[in-house]
Amino acid sequence: MRSSMRLGLFAAAAAFTASTAVLAAPAFINILTGGTSGVYYPIGVGLSQIYSNGIEGSKTSVQATKASVENLNLLEQGRGELAFALADSVADAWNGDEEAGFKKPLKKLRAIASTYPNYIQIVASDESGIKTLADLKGKRISVGAAKSGTELNARAIFAAAGLKYEDMGKVEYLPYAESVELIKNRQLDATLQSSGLGMAAIRDLASTMKISFVAIPSEVVAKIGNPAYQAGMIPAGTYDGQDADVPTVAVANILVSQEKVSNDVAYQMTKLMFENLKRLSTSHSAAKDITLESATKNLPIPLHPGAEKYYKEVNAL
């Protein structure tokens, strides 16, 4: 009898220990961003600080990446808990568009929120003489890392404008900062960058030399034929020497998670972001455009159940 009682006590103690171990296990949150000179990275750092303080026992990290396409593939592999990505890339990932960098449909992805828009920003050195999309013919241009979200944007826009890479004098596949450095050194004429407004690399270039912004007319936007692409505007004064509004393309950014992230962690990530938007906007001004009203609109993938729970609580669905 004593022996069976002793075994029962041991079993109960073991069960209690196991349960408390689960409760005490840290929540690892690796946030996949983009290049350090872009917008994803500083906002990712801002989120990591909010989560580190707000999610008890969490272990947060921020990973610089090649952005959208790499981020989504890493999420599918379980190598991240939260990532930034462009809406068109998210749709391509869900559908398994191999040409866009996805060898198979990524069905483990789950949305947390639609956030701020990216603006396609085509900037050229003033001395290059580039003023319009047609002027890019024969010129040296960088379009972002190969098969990155930025480069997919470039392909879509050039096709709508009747341009091909073969029309250019030279096409480089480089991230933001490297592209800007080559323009400074007169080794490139222009760069196409997909980012939030006021991004660091273009600010740096504008403060160094005189540059021109290339407009993307609304009729070109309409020809893209993808609802993820909407007409947008880079307001005058966004960068040094930019005295006029510049018509362009806007593409929504989506915060994406994956199905193995627990409902509780996804709920807390969503809730804490929206409860700390003012604080998040200090990490980068682009975060000022994140709103609860647009968080669940036009999502190309299912919401994470944890995020859905939060939106139902605040009547945002």
Per-residue pLDDT for 270 more than 70? yes
Look at residue 237 and tell me if it is in a domain: yes
Q: Residue 290 is encoded by which pair of tokens?
A: 């994140």
Look at residue 194 and tell me if it is in a domain: yes
What domain range includes position 58?
27-116+253-313
How many CB atoms neighbour CB 36 within 10 A?
16
151 and 228 in a single domain? The answer is yes
Look at residue 10 and tell me if it is in a domain: no
Q: Quick one: what percent of the chain has pLDDT higher than 70?
A: 92
Report the alpha-carbon distance of residue 287 to residue 59 in Å, rounded.
23
pTM of the model: 0.84
Instruction: Give the number of domains in the chain.
Output: 2
Look at residue 19 and tell me if it is in a domain: no
SS3 for 12-45 is HHHHHHHHHHHHHCCEEEEEECCCCCCCHHHHHH
Average pLDDT over the chain reads 92
Look at residue 4 and tell me if it is in a domain: no
Q: Residue 45 is encoded by which pair of tokens?
A: 């750092």
* CATH assignment at residue 135: 3.40.190.10
Write out the H or E segment, with its range, that includes residue 222. Answer: helix 218-224
β-pairing, 27-32 vs 82-86, is parallel
177 and 222 in a single domain? The answer is yes
* Most confidently predicted of 70-84, 146-160, 217-231: 70-84
Report the alpha-carbon distance of residue 130 to residue 138 in Å, rounded.
11
Residue 287 φ then ψ, to 5°: -65, -15
User: Mean of the pLDDT values across residues 227-251?
Assistant: 95
189 and 133 in a single domain? The answer is yes
Look at residue 146 and tell me if it is in a domain: yes
Cβ contact 18:51 at 8 Å: no
Please give the single-letter amino acid code of residue 34.
Answer: G
pLDDT one-digit tens code per residue, 175-202: 889 999 999 999 999 999 999 999 899 9
110 and 259 in a single domain? The answer is yes
User: Mean of the pLDDT values across residues 275-294?
Assistant: 96
How many CB atoms neighbour CB 273 within 10 A?
28
pLDDT of residue 115: 97
Q: Using pLDDT thresholds of 50, 70 and 90, give the confidence band for residue 9.
A: very low
156 and 247 in a single domain? The answer is yes
218 and 99 in a single domain? The answer is no
215 and 266 in a single domain? The answer is no
Q: Residue 77 is encoded by which pair of tokens?
A: 């592999």
